[in-house]
């Protein structure tokens, strides 16, 4: 039988969709007690009841994921690479002494959360430019424990919200933003937790992002904490760029920094696969910030689920001596041609306008409201 499809509700003004949290029908919850996972619970309010002594609240044992579902032209809704998020959540969970969430349970939770909120998945538009449904798997140590030992009760949640784009990238276009290098704060220590999507990594960055935004920089960049000479990533997303072409018809080279402190982005991984399929070169290696400054690179962009691709038109950093220096990149408006090609292919696959030759969209038959 064909999956049951629910069209976008007419009770929501889809033209006003922003990057925000909206009311939904509810969320999915599972509890692990004494090593056993309970059955899925459907919760119709956006709250969770927690013991004041929960290890998540007191000691920060909490991690999360972010992925999206898109409506295709035929009305079907599909998620983008949820298996990758399942694997990464378990990678994060292990770092904070939490048990594995079986992939099957992770997928079931994602399917249920979307299926029950299918009316809130925005209308189809090529490249997902009308928005998408954002899924937020959240996994934390809900058990109460005063002693600093590995906890024994855990809660896994998947909630969703309809969402617009983060920095305004949509419709195969991507307006460029100004970036600022944070110098007075280390996001991730060498051998620290930067590579895990832990809740605790984000709270301390907020005031630095807010300060930069106030100064006119919507996006902030972190260099490696040890030497401050290599590029790690942006506070919200990975860093990528192209090597400046030696001639207009030379094969593009996508450069992606390698560092033990970087969050392993599903978007970056996908873009590297797409670039490879175009026959382009990939350099995945430690990347000196000097290569940004001296013009070795062009078409610098940020990548992640929230914004897909956000081109960066300038990077401001503190030069030795303390003066601010600004490197200008690209035409100051839109993304470069190689970046736009990557963006069109990625968002085209997500929205079902381009052939999914990698098998990234899930489930193959579409989310089924009758199986919610
Ligand atoms: C989630 C996240 C990303 C992007 O990862 P995606 O899987 O592409 O969404 C990049 N950097 C940081 C710090 C993140 O938290």
pLDDT in tens, the chain (372 residues): 788 999 999 999 998 898 889 999 999 999 999 999 999 999 999 999 999 999 999 999 999 999 999 999 999 999 999 999 999 999 999 999 999 999 999 999 999 999 999 999 999 988 777 789 999 999 999 999 998 888 899 999 999 999 986 545 555 567 899 999 999 999 999 999 999 999 999 999 999 999 999 999 999 999 999 999 999 999 999 999 999 988 878 999 999 999 999 999 999 999 999 999 999 999 999 999 999 999 999 999 999 998 789 999 999 999 989 999 999 998 888 889 999 999 999 999 999 999 999 999 999 999 999 998
Distance 305 CA to ligand 1 centre (A): 7
Whole-model pTM: value is 0.96
- Say yes or no: 251 and 305 in one domain: yes
Instruction: Check pocket membership of 138 for ligand 1, CB cut-off 6 A.
Output: no
Q: Can you give the residue range of the structural domain that contains 72?
A: 14-167+351-371
Whose Cα sits closest to atom 3 in ligand 1? 237
Q: Enumerate the β-bridge partners of residue 105.
A: none
- On whether both 222 and 204 belong to a single domain, the answer is yes
Cα(91)–Cα(69) distance, integer angstroms: 22
C-alpha 59 to ligand 1 mean position (Å): 23
User: Would 290 be classed as within a structural domain?
Assistant: yes
Tokens for 363? 């489930």
pLDDT of residue 2: 81
Ligand 1, atom 5: nearest CA belongs to which residue? 265
CB 154 within 8 A of CB 99: yes
Task: Say if 260 falls within a structural domain.
Answer: yes
Residues 149 and 266 in one domain: no
DSSP β-ladder status, 27-33 and 238-243:
unpaired
Residue nearest (by alpha carbon) to ligand 1 atom 13: 236
Question: Quick check: CB of 263 below 6 Å from ligand 1?
Answer: yes
- Ligand 1 contact, 220 CB (< 6 A): no
Report CA(155)–ligand 1 centroid distance (Å): 22
Task: Ligand 1, residue 304: give the atom nearest the CA.
Answer: 8
Q: Which residues contact 185 (CB under 8 A, 6 or more apart)?
A: 204, 205, 208
The answer to whether the CB of 266 is under 6 A from ligand 1 is yes
266: CATH: 3.20.10.10
Atom of ligand 1 nearest to the CA of 187: 13
Could you tell me the CATH number of the domain that includes residue 20? 3.30.470.10
Is 1 a domain residue?
no
* Whether residue 196 sits in one domain with residue 119: no
362, 304: one domain:
no
Reference 100, options 30, 165, 160; nearest CA is: 30
- Ligand 1 within 6 A of CB of 163: no
Is residue 268 domain-resident? yes
CB 362 within 8 A of CB 82: yes
Q: Ligand 1: does its nearest atom lie under 6 Å from the Cβ of 132?
A: no
Is residue 181 located within the same domain as residue 329?
yes
Q: Based on the domain organization, do 60 and 153 belong to the same domain?
A: yes
Report the C-alpha gap between 165 and 143 in whole angstroms: 35
320, 199: one domain: yes
Shared domain for 188 and 329, answered yes or no, is: yes
- What is the rounded CA–CA span in Å between residue 37 and residue 153? 10
Same domain, 275 and 188: yes
- Residue 244 within a domain: yes
340 occurs within a structural domain: no
SS3 readout for 11-77: CCCHHHCCCCCCCCCCEEEEEEECCEECCCEEECCCCCCCCCCEHHHHHCCEEECCEEEEECCCCCE
Residue 54 Cα to ligand 1 midpoint, Å, equals 26
Cβ of 238 closer than 6 Å to ligand 1, yes or no, is yes
Q: Which strand (E) or helix (H) includes residue 313?
A: strand 308-318
Pocket flag, ligand 1, residue 68 (CB < 6 Å) = no
In a domain, 305, yes or no: yes
Domain membership flag for residue 346: no
Distance CA(274)–CA(202), nearest Å, equals 29
Q: What are phi and psi of 268, to 5 degrees?
A: -60, -45
Place of tokens 């609240």: 57
The torsion angles phi and psi of 331, rounded to 5 degrees, stand at -90, 5
Q: Are residues 302 and 356 in the same domain?
A: no
Tally of helices (H runs) and strands (E runs) in the chain = 7, 18
Q: What is the largest CA-CA distance in the chain?
A: 68
How far is the centre of ligand 1, averaged over its atoms, from the C-alpha of 237 (Å)?
Answer: 5
- On whether both 24 and 159 belong to a single domain, the answer is yes
Q: Judge contact between 28 and 158, C-beta under 8 A.
A: yes
- Measured from the Cα of 233, ligand 1's closest atom is 11
Count of the separate structural domains present in the chain: 2
């Amino acid at each position: 039988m064909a999956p049951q499809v629910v069209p976008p509700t007419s009770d929501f003004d889809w033209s006003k969709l922003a990057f925000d949290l909206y009311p939904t029908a509810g969320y999915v919850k599972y509890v692990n007690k004494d090593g056993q996972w309970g059955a899925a619970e459907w919760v119709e309010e956006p709250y969770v009841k927690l013991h004041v002594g929960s290890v998540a609240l007191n000691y920060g044992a909490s991690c999360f994921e972010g992925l999206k579902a898109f409506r295709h032209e035929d009305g079907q809704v599909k998620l983008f690479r949820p298996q990758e998020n399942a694997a990464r959540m378990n990678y994060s969970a292990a770092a904070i002494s939490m048990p594995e969430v079986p992939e099957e349970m992770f997928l079931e939770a994602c399917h249920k959360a979307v299926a029950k909120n299918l009316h809130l998945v925005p209308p189809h538009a090529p490249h997902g430019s009308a928005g998408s449904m954002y899924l937020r798997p959240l996994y934390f140590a809900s058990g109460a424990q005063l002693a600093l030992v590995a906890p024994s009760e855990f809660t896994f949640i998947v909630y969703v919200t309809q969402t617009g784009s983060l920095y305004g990238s949509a419709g195969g276009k991507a307006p460029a933003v100004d970036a600022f290098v944070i110098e007075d704060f280390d996001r991730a220590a060498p051998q620290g937790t930067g590579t895990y999507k832990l809740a605790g990594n984000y709270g301390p960055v907020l005031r630095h992002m807010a300060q930069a935004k106030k100064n006119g920089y919507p996006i902030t960049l972190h260099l490696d904490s040890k030497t401050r000479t290599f590029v790690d990533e942006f506070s919200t997303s990975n860093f990528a760029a192209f090597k400046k072409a030696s001639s207009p018809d030379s094969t593009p080279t996508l450069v992606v920094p390698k560092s033990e402190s970087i969050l392993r982005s599903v978007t970056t991984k996908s873009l590297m696969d797409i670039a490879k399929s175009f026959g382009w070169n990939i350099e995945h290696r430690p990347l000196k910030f000097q290569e940004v400054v001296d013009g070795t690179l062009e078409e610098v962009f940020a990548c992640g689920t929230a914004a897909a691709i956000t081109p960066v038109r300038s990077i401001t950093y503190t030069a030795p001596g303390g003066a601010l220096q600004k490197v200008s990149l690209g035409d100051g408006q839109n993304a470069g041609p190689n970046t736009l090609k990557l963006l069109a292919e990625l968002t085209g696959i997500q929205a079902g306008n381009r052939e999914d030759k990698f098998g990234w969209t899930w489930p193959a038959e579409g989310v089924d409201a009758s199986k919610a």
